[in-house]
Structure 1
Amino acid sequence: MKLNIAKPLLLSSLMLLTPSLWADSYKIDTEGAHASVEFKIKHLGYSWLVGRFNTFDGEFNYDAATPGDATVNVTIDTTSIDSNHAERDKHLRGKDFLNVAKFPKAEFNSQSFTDLGDGKATLIGELTLHGVTKAVTIDVVKIGEGQDPWGGYRLGFEGTTSIALKDFGIDYNLGPASTHVELTLNVEGIKQ
């Protein structure tokens, strides 16, 4: 009889110790094109070259009561890079830049999420790009949340960061004004 009582008590105790298990799980809405991974880099210091990755997938867990337990995982198909110029995209896919034949995917896996208040947060995680894994810090802004017209629940964030190309083994000389790429992730998740 004591064993039958001990098991539920042990299970209840374990559940209390792992609050992230209770966080809501969200699938990033790439199917409905309500999310994007965009980039921009200065062109010779005179203008911005902008683009996006058309194919990616991911999910996140988030609970407003315990935001520090939030997790984010995103996988990007680097072959889907799109700067609205076919010849440039071919060059970006080649060995000078992404080398998609060897590195067809990039990944981001979060390590910590710090709520700063007023809908702002800092997300730290590991970005694997071009075969190199480095820690990156993403500035996060909560866009909104609520019921959608189809009976689901959605939650959206925007994240921005800047990465040095050389940190990820991309050392093609674009000039001194073009050493960093700014990334913007617009994420709308559907509660699962």
Structure 2
Amino acid sequence: MKLWKSSAFALMILMSGITQAADYVIDTDKAHAFILFKIKHLGFSWLYGRFNDFEGDFSYDPNKPEAASIGVKIDTKSLDSNHAERDKHLKGKDFLDVDKFPEASFVSKRIEVLKDGHAKVHGEFTLKGVTKPLVIDAELVGGGSDPWGGKRQGFSGTTKFKLKDFGIDYNLGPASQEVEIILSIEGIQK
């Protein structure tokens, strides 16, 4: 009788969708996560690029999203704007100076939960040796079991910052003072 009651209780918990906090590693091996950037080119068009190499992890409990945390490290040498000469310039001293600063990072400090799976992720962003507060507008994309027996959780997000705030003062014109970062993060439960 006790076994039946405990099994029935476990089944009720599974059916109700109650979950606990879990730790995830960002799935960069299978290209299920992306860090993109865009900036205006002379105010005429958008220049898009990405960072091909990064790593990170996060903790998430759907019952307590305000307790979530995330940490990401970005290999700045992996910048890719689909144009070799431009990439060389962006990686140089005028912009990221990747030889001196090969890594950028973001570490969350506080999660402000909004409505409908949206949140503001407050944290510290380090780029080119400068650390400043940064807020990411995040959205829960979804989560659950994958076809390989694992569990996954996905989020997207955007943020903007002024280049000069991180020591990048190269004159790109008045329309190109701010860069937008676009994130698509899928994590695999550890």
Question: TM-score, with normalisation over the residues of structure 2?
Answer: 0.89
Correspondence 1:97-116 to 2 at 5 A: 97-116=95-114
- 1:19 corresponds to: none
- 1:120 corresponds to: 118
1:82 equivalent to 2:80? Answer yes
Deviations, residues 109-147 of structure 1 (Å, cap 9, x unaligned): 000111112011110100000100000011001111111
Residue 57 of structure 1, CA deviation? 0.1
Following the alignment from structure 1 to structure 2, what is the Cα–Cα distance between the partners of residues 112 and 105? 22
Residue 67 of structure 1, CA deviation? 1.1
Following the alignment from structure 1 to structure 2, what is the Cα–Cα distance between the partners of residues 79 and 122? 28
Aligned positions, number: 171
Among candidates 145, 148, 159, match of residue 146 of structure 2: 148
2:88 aligns to what SS in structure 1? helix
2:149 aligns to what SS in structure 1? coil
Question: TM-score, with normalisation over the residues of structure 1?
Answer: 0.88
| Aligned amino acid, residue 120 of structure 2 | T
Following the alignment from structure 1 to structure 2, what is the Cα–Cα distance between the partners of residues 76 and 168? 15
Correspondence 1:5-84 to 2 at 5 A: 23-84=21-82
Among candidates 165, 169, 179, match of residue 177 of structure 2: 179
- 2:14 corresponds to: none
Following the alignment from structure 2 to structure 1, what is the Cα–Cα distance between the partners of residues 21 and 140? 17
Residue 66 of structure 1, CA deviation? 1.2
Residue 65 of structure 1, CA deviation? 1.3
- 2:128 corresponds to: 130
Residue 23 of structure 1, CA deviation? 2.4
**Aligned Cα root-mean-square deviation (Å):** 0.7
Following the alignment from structure 1 to structure 2, what is the Cα–Cα distance between the partners of residues 132 and 35? 25
Correspondence 1:156-175 to 2 at 5 A: 156-175=154-173
Structure 1 unmatched runs, 5+: 1-21
2:114 aligns to what SS in structure 1? strand
Residue 53 of structure 1, CA deviation? 0.2
1:174 aligns to what SS in structure 2? coil
Correspondence 1:85-96 to 2 at 5 A: 85-96=83-94
